[in-house]
Amino acid sequence: MKKNSKKKSEKNRFAELAKPDQPVKSKGFGARLRNYFLTGLVIAAPLSITIYITWSFINIVDGWIKPWVPDTYNPETYLPFDVPGVGLVFVLIGLTVLGALAANLFGRTLVDMGERLLGRMPVVRNLYSALKQIFETVISQSNTSFREVGLIEYPRKGLYAIVFVSTDAKGEILHRLDGKDKEDIISVFLPTTPNPTSGFLLFLPRCDMIKLDMSVEEAAKLVISAGLVTPDYIKDEPQIKQSVRVSNPEEA
């Protein structure tokens, strides 16, 4: 009896193994709807937020500038509907004209007079000088600020943080640090997550930073997303040189 029961159990086992693979059950209708909804959300949310922020900025500028635009130059005087962006266009034209006037001798003289007048005001002069230095550093075309991304060991060895290279260290900081280790000292900005506009200003030798190939925009997305959005990286493989075997020395 025991032998017969063993034979039956073995037959049942072999029969189960011999059965064809059962087809994988497809996702239900509710799961498909959920995936469709999430896909639509991923597509529509960034686009909607971008349009909303852009439209709000245009409306704010129009609300400030349109009351100062003469009716002769305002297209809404001749059209039966509102034209968005009129104030923004006048702002761009005004800044361009202001830059052109400041480029000549007369304009520079007026700017110097205005800066000397602001320099006599106790609180305003500090605010103006700081803002001017920031804008000159960011907008200057000859400056390499925020064009490189790197990794440094922070806050301790073994932990790495993304930094944006600002500029080379200058002034007293360069003199003090360069006198100690004779290294190329740079200033870097270490952003915080998820708000990259806040962070820390650090000074370190350039050799202590690992330079990355990713752009500043890709690094900012990585910081904002807390590491969820990682840019693609294609490693450059070294080319293998194929050696040609010459059987006859005269053929070489």
108-145, pLDDT tens digit by residue? 888 888 888 888 888 888 888 888 877 776 666 444 45
Residue, of 202 and 18, whose pLDDT is higher: 202
Rounded CA separation 186/169 (Å): 5
Query: Is residue 178 situated within a structural domain?
Result: yes
Residue 27: is its pLDDT beyond 70?
A: no
From residue 87, how far is each of 58, 99, 231 by CA, in Å? 8, 18, 37
Query: Is residue 39 situated within a structural domain?
Result: no
Give the ranges where the chain is alpha helix by DSSP (H).
2-18, 29-65, 86-102, 105-119, 122-139, 171-181, 216-224
pLDDT at 10: 56
| Number of domains composing the chain | 1
Query: Is residue 83 situated within a structural domain?
Result: no
Retrieve residue 60's tokens: 């704010």
Query: Is residue 4 situated within a structural domain?
Result: no
Full DSSP string of 172-238? HHHHHHHHHH---EEEEEEE-SS-TTSEEEEEEEGGGSEEESS-HHHHHHHHHTTTSS-------PP
At 76-95, the pLDDT tens digits run 888 888 888 888 899 999 88
**Taking all residues of the chain, what is their mean pLDDT, rounded to a whole number?**
78
Residue 102: is its pLDDT beyond 70?
A: yes
Query: Is residue 196 situated within a structural domain?
Result: yes
Query: Is residue 42 situated within a structural domain?
Result: no
Residues spanned by the domain of 157: 148-224
Please indicate, yes or no, whether the overall pTM of this predicted structure exceeds 0.75: no
